[in-house]
Amino acid sequence: MKKAQIIVLVILSILFLNCEIKEEITFNKDGSGELFYTYDMSKMLKEMPESKNTDADKDMDTIFDFNSLLNDPKFKDSLAALSPEKRKTLESLRMMKMKLKVDSKEKIAEMGFGIQFKKINEIKDFFKKMEEAQKITKPNKKGNPIKESPLFERLSGKDQNVAYNFDGRNFTRTTTMKKKISEESNKEIDKMINSGDKTKELFGVLKYTLILNFPKKVKKINNKNAVLSNGKKTVTISYGLTEYLENPEKLNLEIKLAK
């Protein structure tokens, strides 16, 4: 990977704690589809002071497609030289995609992770796969205090299990916390969110947005915050990021489609 790309990824890791999150699922008629998470750090970037030395060389708009990488004859020898453990990790990421977009002039900074599926209930350990994808595409610095914080665990989904089920007509999304949320963890998250006037203000406007695109119209949904569009085939639910961080289970929902 080019040095400029590595620098950009390190910057994105720092900005990661101040980002909007979009979770989007698109279903095909046969139940297959794609799940995609986007971490949008653009608002944080716009709050940073203007720099006279804007480095356009660090701008990028690229997709890492692990399936294409594994099938590319140019990388056959390189892949063969990897340890069995690393090859196994890469193989588990075959259906993953990673998108990076940085535009210094427009102050855009986005990082996204997606996975294609035949049946969404087959998706397991998605957040773990996201972490593995990051390790492969950027340096892995151990002992990073940011990554060990409760806030990072909450934003990255490491402290929760999210289960999806869709049988063609009924859809459910269920979040289960891996461990009981301690009062100490919530206090630390609250402390980081309110660490300064600017940080508090920024977290106040950031959102977690869930978008669901179905092949049929939605007949019934148990979330009063849901907004229907695209002929009632698209469901959008948004919560303030602070509200989501305090209770990720707010995004548990049940949806029934029309016949």
pLDDT (0 to 100) of residue 103: 86
pLDDT (0 to 100) of residue 18: 57
Is this structure's pTM higher than 0.85? no
Asked whether 230 and 46 are in contact (CB, 8 A), the reply is no
Residue range 141-157: average pLDDT? Answer: 54
Residue for token pair 């999304």: 173
DSSP per-residue codes, 90-147: HHHTTTEEEEEEEETTTTEEEEEEEEEESSGGG---HHHHHHHHHHHHS---TT-TTT
Task: Pick the more confident residue, 219 or 79.
Answer: 219
pLDDT tens profile 227-243: 999 999 999 999 988 78
pLDDT (0 to 100) of residue 145: 40
Strand partners, 235: 212, 228
Please check the confidence at residue 13 and state whether its pLDDT lies above 60: no
